[in-house]
Structure 1
Amino acid sequence: MNTEGLVEVVLPGKVAPEGLRIRHGAVPTAGPGQVVIRVEATGVSFAEQQMRRGRYYDQPPFPFVPGYDLVGTVLATGEGVGPGLAGTRVAALVKVGGWASHVLVDAADTVEVPDGVGAAEAETLVVNGVTAWQMLHRKARVRAGQTILVHGVNGGVGSVLAELARVAGVKVIGTASARHHDALRERGVVPVDYRTEDVAARVRELAPGGVDAVFDHVGGRSVVDSWRLLAPGGTLVSYGTASTRDDEGSQQWPVIKLLGRVWLWNALPNRRRAYFYNVWAGRALAKNRFRARLRADLTQVFGALQHGDITARIAAQLPLTRVAEALRLAESGTVAGKVVLNP
């Protein structure tokens, strides 16, 4: 009998970080095809920052347990799951539910973490890593010798994007505040200060013929400028609406407008392409294909970490019970890397 207790963080509504609640309960039991994961590391992503404001476009109704991804050890397996999975360290992408000591997931949704990769290291690369990999290689299909623009290059997704691109022989221009520029130059990134510089003008100086791809999480006006900076044959990959995080009104409307722009641009007679990237795209219609792709791509990301091609950027590690502090830190814009929670 499992004598451990469940500890989880509940988001009760639109609250300040201090309004998050700690709830205790019984550890879930694995049903057919399921596993119970004892969580070793979860993290604070931009999605949770939007969710606490009610601004994430498809978040569940309040109250719920946030937590987009996690890494942990399989504690128990249900019927139909190979017993060899018990005791294995795995990663899982869950969208919600990760801020807990124990999480119940389908075994098919887990990805094994290689030996020698720590839980916190792996956690920084689950949603961030697979997002970066898929946008770079499945959407933009970058090639050596190309030039790309990465907005928020010092952020969770942006930093992985930049490293993966450099490994592929791609020149990276990235927007970031000035305090991060020296570190970015050391990693081979050409930095642009989005606070003090005219980003579009500066990028045109650096790439007079346009860039081959832009990765834009900002949305709003930024995505229009991003489209105009593309070279013939270039690709815009939009993957968020960060500029609307603190807005009021419908959380779906910014995404709907973005999708409308993407559709219109692709309908125009030009050689450029635009995508709105969603890591969950295709799961509802082709679950097995989605799982296979996630497993393949995250395995590639973990392999890149093992080979030293990318780094696990941990901004801070805090206990799950200090989640309010962790969320405040992640939202401050002062840290580089991911804030990791250790249940």
Structure 2
Amino acid sequence: MKAVTVREFGPIANVAVETMPDPVAGPGEVLIRVAAVAANFVDTLVIGGTYQFLPERPFVPGKGPAGTVVAIGAGVTGFAVGDRVLAMAEIGGYAELCVAPAAQCYRLPDGLASADAAAMSLAYDTAWFALRERGRFAAGESVLVLGATGAVGFATMQLARALGASRVIAGVSSLAKAQTVREAGADAVVELTRPDLRDSLRDQVRAATEGKGVDIVIDMLGGDAFDAALRALAWKGRLVVVGFAAGRIPSVKANYLLVKNIEVSGLQISDYRKRMPALVRECFAEVFALFEAGRIKPPPSRSFPLAQARDALGALLDRSVPERIVMIP
């Protein structure tokens, strides 16, 4: 098979498309012919050797491929050859064939194309856990999404709207992106590049929530946006840390949490796949049901052939492609 390989950790220039032996499904595993796989920022961390969990080299990167089951390992039940699935494999997705634990495969609805499923992977499950599990979202609450134009941001806005949020507020770097996030489900837009953000973000959020502040913040940015969003929380508000795209890892003064009865929690989605697979299955069941009901939609995506993996990852890192990037073997 053709596959993207990493023989030494480092920049994306290190990856190469090579001919590799076809993998074989072992006990409890399925072999999938990959139809599409998203390019994820976390994949670049694995390639660079800076992620929390690193595979032995050489390896094939790529999380969350979608495709068709072509072989089943011993002991696997519930799947058959020919089933279309999303496989939340930790690695191996950047290839024509991928082996994944059957426990982490999810049958796709008939109306969901493989490329759209790949575009949703690692975004909608992250958003679901940020809202449902870590944020304890309840219908009627307001949600502020920092980094709203990213994959997880888009998914969070879609899910918050579908699950009954009273207000979905999108945090953007420029109001030129306002129309984009409104089409994705935002009721209001706040600007994250205004002067004196600590006060200006709070003022914008209060204006969008009748002076109450926001119930839940989902933060993919960190840095100054985190500091400002903490001040924009309503009483008993919850802020969920998903990432640090802005670069700086912020800190919290515990007395501020006490005074406002607010919470800060973190989300590492890979841990849930390992420790609570039944809850992950519940997550995808709800996400796919919302899709079938027409209440959420996949993000806009742009396809690259797998042979152009370096170009796809480069476009991801320099943000030259606004859509979700999907690679097609």
Same fold (TM over 0.5): yes
- Of 229, 233, 254, which residue of structure 2 is paired with 1:230? 233
> 330-339 vs 133-142, which deviates more?
330-339
Secondary structure of 1:298's partner? helix
CA drift at 1:16: 4.2
> 130-139 vs 199-208, which deviates more?
199-208
CA drift at 1:298: 0.8
Q: Give the whole-Å Cα distance in 2 for the aligned partners of 1:112 and 1:266.
A: 44
2:273–2:280 CA contact under 8 A, matched in 1 = no
1:265–1:273 CA contact under 8 A, matched in 2 = no
> 140-149 vs 31-40, which deviates more?
140-149
Unaligned 5+ segments in structure 2 are none
Establish whether residue 272 from structure 1 lines up as the match of residue 262 from structure 2. yes
1:40–1:73 CA contact under 8 A, matched in 2 = yes
Q: Give the structure 2 partner of residue 338 of structure 1.
A: 324
Establish whether residue 240 from structure 1 lines up as the match of residue 243 from structure 2. yes
Q: Give the structure 1 partner of residue 146 of structure 2.
A: 151
Establish whether residue 214 from structure 1 lines up as the match of residue 214 from structure 2. no
Q: Give the structure 2 partner of residue 203 of structure 1.
A: 205
Secondary structure of 2:310's partner? helix
Secondary structure of 2:228's partner? helix
2:12–2:44 CA contact under 8 A, matched in 1 = no
Q: Give the whole-Å Cα distance in 2 for the aligned partners of 1:267 and 1:195.
A: 25
How large is the RMSD of aligned CA atoms in angstroms?
A: 2.5
Q: Give the structure 2 partner of residue 251 of structure 1.
A: none
CA offset digits 1:95-127 (Å, max 9, x no partner):
322111111122122111111211011112221
CA drift at 1:90: 0.8
Change (3 A) 1:14 1:82: closer
Change (3 A) 1:298 1:188: closer
Q: Give the whole-Å Cα distance in 2 for the aligned partners of 1:162 and 1:234.
A: 18
Matches within 5 A, 1:1-343: 6-13=1-8, 15-60=10-55, 63-82=58-77, 84-170=79-165, 171-176=167-172, 177-189=174-186, 190-196=188-194, 198=197, 199-207=201-209, 208-244=211-247, 254=249, 261=252, 264=254, 268=258, 270-284=260-274, 286=275, 290-343=276-329
CA drift at 1:45: 1.3
Residue type at the aligned position of 2:190: V
Q: Give the whole-Å Cα distance in 2 for the aligned partners of 1:291 and 1:34.
A: 15
CA offset digits 1:314-340 (Å, max 9, x no partner):
320111111111112222324343100
Q: Give the structure 2 partner of residue 3 of structure 1.
A: none
2:34–2:97 CA contact under 8 A, matched in 1 = yes
CA offset digits 1:125-178 (Å, max 9, x no partner):
221111111211222232333221101111101111101111233211112233
CA offset digits 1:14-41 (Å, max 9, x no partner):
5443432112122112222221111111
1:326–1:339 CA contact under 8 A, matched in 2 = yes
2:69–2:81 CA contact under 8 A, matched in 1 = yes
CA offset digits 1:175-219 (Å, max 9, x no partner):
223332113234441222323564344224333321101000112
TM-score by length of 2: 0.88
Q: Give the whole-Å Cα distance in 2 for the aligned partners of 1:16 and 1:32.
A: 34
> 211-220 vs 83-92, which deviates more?
83-92
Change (3 A) 1:271 1:88: same
> 267-276 vs 92-101, which deviates more?
267-276
Q: Give the whole-Å Cα distance in 2 for the aligned partners of 1:84 and 1:54.
A: 34
1:266–1:273 CA contact under 8 A, matched in 2 = no
Change (3 A) 1:34 1:58: closer
Unaligned 5+ segments in structure 1 are 1-5, 248-253
Change (3 A) 1:162 1:267: closer
TM-score by length of 1: 0.84
